[in-house]
Amino acid sequence: MTGRSARVRRLAAAALLTLACQWAPVPAATGAPEPAGRDAQVVTWAASAGRLGEGTPGRGYRLIVRTSVAGSGLRVRLSNAFGDRPLTLDGVRAGLRSKGAALVPGSDRPLTFGGARTVTLPAGAVAWSDPLPGSVPAGADLAVSLHTPGAAGPATGHTLALQTSYVTQGDHTAETSGANWARTTGSWWYLDAVSVRPADPATGAVVVLGDSLTDGRQSTPGLDRRWTDYLARRLRPAATHVKGVANEGMSGNKVLSDGAGPGALHRLERDVLSQPGARTLLLFEGVNDVRAHTGVTAAGLIAGYRTILRRAHAAGLCVVGATVAPFAGRPEWDPAAEAVRQDVNRFVRTGGEFDAVVDFDRVLRSPRAPGHLLPAYDDGDHLHLNDAGMRALADAVGPHTLDCARGPRPG
């Protein structure tokens, strides 16, 4: 740990300790997608929800997530979106991670839901916690602990966390030590969003709707090297009001159909439009539709984009379109799929329907073989990116591109 990061954690812990433990009672949400007061809170971390194995009664989880924007009044959103029965959670707490499963002493606080320390989520529901006193810095390792006393049936979570979280049996959530958290998990269980109230009320967030390239597949685990992580670090000192970054990447995801989780059209409301303080949607989806050889045409994919544009604009979000990345060299590539990709990218670049465009195809493609990834960015499978490729995507997004005007648009 560097001296600077240690100092940040000490200051954050001190801030938590100096504020009284009071919570504003808010009903546990069974349909409401976000905390009251959309502009008061801004999403500081998020992960797309999907079905994640089976729930285990009596299991505890200490989930490690990285904040993108600083703020006070932290809330967490718990999800039973894919459950087929009610889910009860207790021992829900949030604090700063020190090392491994251990917490910064004094930083951990219990979270409540409508004033209660236990919450039951009906099948398909989500619940936001009440706000937690104190503040959390940007770029902090936040540890959200929870206990599932009677969990069973399909569990909800995010499979590819690329972050080590911790598992135990029994309720050890109030323990600062990591001694009873010896088991690990590479997924995030039951947690799909965290929000804070930034000091500047003009602060907003960008939500990235994407597939495995956004999910971070093949980036180095445990080091926060998804391209959205690099972007969050770039935005902190930048002259922009967009500081929050919510990564809603889902490996294998498509725009037009379900498969590895619900398709982009089906998860848009929960994963994007419901996020508090969302100002901009960055859409980076489509390569899985193109390479699936299921009869998807450029016109069909463009129609899907237009549906997302219409719904996001109606919700007051700016929409930034990203061109579809090259994938020649994959077994599923052929000239017909490449033609669809080129037509879709032409629409993104020149159609005039997105509020702004980031040309990821131009950034990633090889100048000698434009259908292929640049070898320096190719992790070896001709689709996914190494850490250098992830950084290149983040560097291609100008902060000003994300800070466009909000407000419902005609049509």
Q: Say whether both 181 and 108 belong to one domain.
A: yes
Which of 249, 73, 224 shows the shortest CA–CA distance to 140? 224
Determine the pLDDT at residue 134: 94
C-alpha distances out from residue 105 to 142, 172, 220, Å: 13, 15, 29
- Domain endpoint, select from 195, 218, 253: 195
Q: How far apart are CA 236 and CA 203, in angstroms?
A: 11
Determine the pLDDT at residue 13: 40
Tokens of 130: 């009440």
Helix axes 335-350, 298-314, angle to 10 degrees: 30
Determine the pLDDT at residue 312: 97
Q: How far apart are CA 58 and CA 260, in angstroms?
A: 28
Residue 367 domain flag: yes
Q: Say whether both 394 and 345 belong to one domain.
A: yes
Residue 184 domain flag: yes
Give me the domain span that covers residue 52.
46-195
Determine the pLDDT at residue 260: 80
- Domain endpoint, select from 195, 214, 235: 195
- Domain endpoint, select from 147, 178, 195: 195
Q: Say whether both 147 and 170 belong to one domain.
A: yes
Provide CB contacts within 8 A for 7, sequence distance 6+. Answer: none
Q: Say whether both 218 and 151 belong to one domain.
A: no
Residue 51 domain flag: yes
Structurally, how many domains does the chain consist of? 2
165-169 and 87-99 strand pairing: unpaired
Q: How many CA atoms lie within 13 A of 36 on its CB side?
A: 8
Name the residue type at position 294: T
Q: Say whether both 74 and 177 belong to one domain.
A: yes
Q: How far apart are CA 147 and CA 88, in angstroms?
A: 9
Residue 65 domain flag: yes
Q: Say whether both 57 and 190 belong to one domain.
A: yes
Q: Say whether both 94 and 217 belong to one domain.
A: no
Q: Say whether both 369 and 231 belong to one domain.
A: yes
Q: How far apart are CA 105 and CA 17, in angstroms?
A: 10
Q: What is the 3-state secondary structure (H, E, C) of the chain?
A: CCHHHHHHHHHHHHHHHHCCCCCCCCCCCCCCCCCCCCCCCEEEEECCCEEEEECCCCEEEEEEEECCCCEEEEEEEEECCCCCCCEEEEEEEEEEEEECCEECCCCCEECCECCECEEEECCCCEEECCCEEEEECCCCEEEEEEEECCCCCEEEEECCCCCCEEEEECCCCCCCCCCCCCEEECCEECEEEEEEECCCCCCEEEEEEECHHHHCCCCCCCCCCCHHHHHHHHHCCCCCCEEEEEEEECCCCCCCCCECECCHHHHHHHHHHCCCCEEEEEEECCHHHHHCCCCCCHHHHHHHHHHHHHHHHHCCCEEEEECCCCCECECCCCHHHHHHHHHHHHHHHHCCCCCEEECHHHHHECCCCCCCECCCCECCCCCCECHHHHHHHHHCCCHHHHCCCCCCCCC
Tokens of 239: 């002259």
Residue 183 domain flag: yes
Q: Say whether both 173 and 211 belong to one domain.
A: no
Q: pLDDT tens digits, residue range 204-245?
A: 999 999 999 999 999 999 999 999 999 999 999 999 999 999
Name the residue type at position 250: M
Sign of the alpha-carbon dihedral angle for 392, 394, 399, 405: positive
Residue 164 domain flag: yes
Residue 30 domain flag: no
Q: How many CA atoms lie within 13 A of 46 on its CB side?
A: 35
Determine the pLDDT at residue 294: 86
Residue 162 domain flag: yes
β-pair partners for 51: 156
CB atoms inside a 10 Å sphere around CB 399? 17
In tens digits, what is the pLDDT along the chain, a chain of 411 residues?
444 444 444 444 443 333 322 222 222 333 333 454 444 899 999 999 999 999 999 999 999 999 999 999 999 999 999 999 999 999 999 999 999 999 999 999 999 999 999 999 999 999 999 999 999 999 999 999 999 999 999 999 999 999 999 999 999 999 999 999 999 999 999 999 999 999 999 999 999 999 999 999 999 999 999 999 999 999 999 999 999 999 999 999 999 999 888 999 999 999 999 999 999 999 999 999 999 888 999 999 999 999 999 999 999 999 999 999 999 999 999 999 999 999 999 999 999 999 999 999 999 999 999 999 999 999 999 999 999 999 999 999 999 999 886 544 443
Tokens of 10: 């000490």
Contact of 58 with 170, CB cutoff 8 Å: yes
Q: Say whether both 101 and 73 belong to one domain.
A: yes
Tokens of 257: 């159909």
CATH number at residue 253: 3.40.50.1110
Contact of 98 with 163, CB cutoff 8 Å: no
Q: Say whether both 211 and 280 belong to one domain.
A: yes
Q: pLDDT tens digits, residue range 86-121?
A: 999 999 999 999 999 999 999 999 999 999 999 999
Contact of 321 with 246, CB cutoff 8 Å: no
Q: Say whether both 267 and 312 belong to one domain.
A: yes
